[in-house]
Amino acid sequence: MSVIEALNKTALFSGVASPALRIIAKGAHSISVPCGAHLFESGDEARSFFLLTSGIVRLYRAGLDGEDKVYQVLGEGDLIAETAMFSKPCVYPLSAQAESDCDLYRLHKEGLTELAANDSRFALYLLEQMSGRLYQAVNRFDQLTVANAGQRLVMYLLALIQEQKSHWLTLPVSVKVLAKQLNMSPETLSRLLARFRESDMISGRGRKWVISDAAGLCRVTNLPLPDSMSSMAGGQFFRCCNFG
């Protein structure tokens, strides 16, 4: 797949005309990053943004307690650090580390900023898209700070059902990374999964799970039932702005 075709499939650039996409893609080249390697680290000068074509990348920042705080986990088709291209000073606010072997397109900052400066319609389109992401980020922050651990886990599982269009789920990351993303300890996450499994509401292990009783998960965590949660349980909940 060409970089133009890949950009056209992203949520941010799906409504952008081909001539504009060619400007954004000018000078782009494909790269491969092995599992565990960094695309960039927090504080590095932000010269490029990325389009992930395969693999998993986590965006994180080291906490004062020495534990990484995971802000987002990205997969195939996601953009990384495009919002950072407009920051001043232009640095990456988060670190990006490959959770698996990854293939990406590296795109130059200049194409994106030049187009935004010279095309007011494109600039307004970007503002509209980024405004939506800001609302998503606020919603996610609200859930991570207000809901309890059980509710956060169930809402995440419901979001995966909607995103993967199946009750047979594949977690995009390890349980350890997911725990950080959901703002809980790995031990708490493991206990919750074991509790739900013992109650026959879920089954599985590792990254493979089956949700057999979504309504039951909602009842035991005091959440609205799934058919009334469409605005809450959507995949947007845990897919906020790509502030890489």
Query: Which segments of the chain are extended strands (E)?
Result: 29-33, 38-40, 48-54, 57-62, 68-74, 79-80, 95-98, 102-108, 168-170, 202-205, 208-211
Report pLDDT for 144: 67
Report pLDDT for 45: 95
| Series of mean pLDDT values for 10-residue runs along the chain (244 residues) | 90 85 92 96 95 92 77 88 91 93 96 90 86 75 75 90 91 83 88 95 92 93 69 43 39
Report pLDDT for 146: 63
Report pLDDT for 6: 92
Report pLDDT for 240: 41
Report pLDDT for 95: 95
Report pLDDT for 206: 87
Q: Half-sphere exposure of 240 toward its Cβ, with a 13 Å CA cutoff? A: 20
CA 113 to chain centre: 23
Report pLDDT for 131: 84
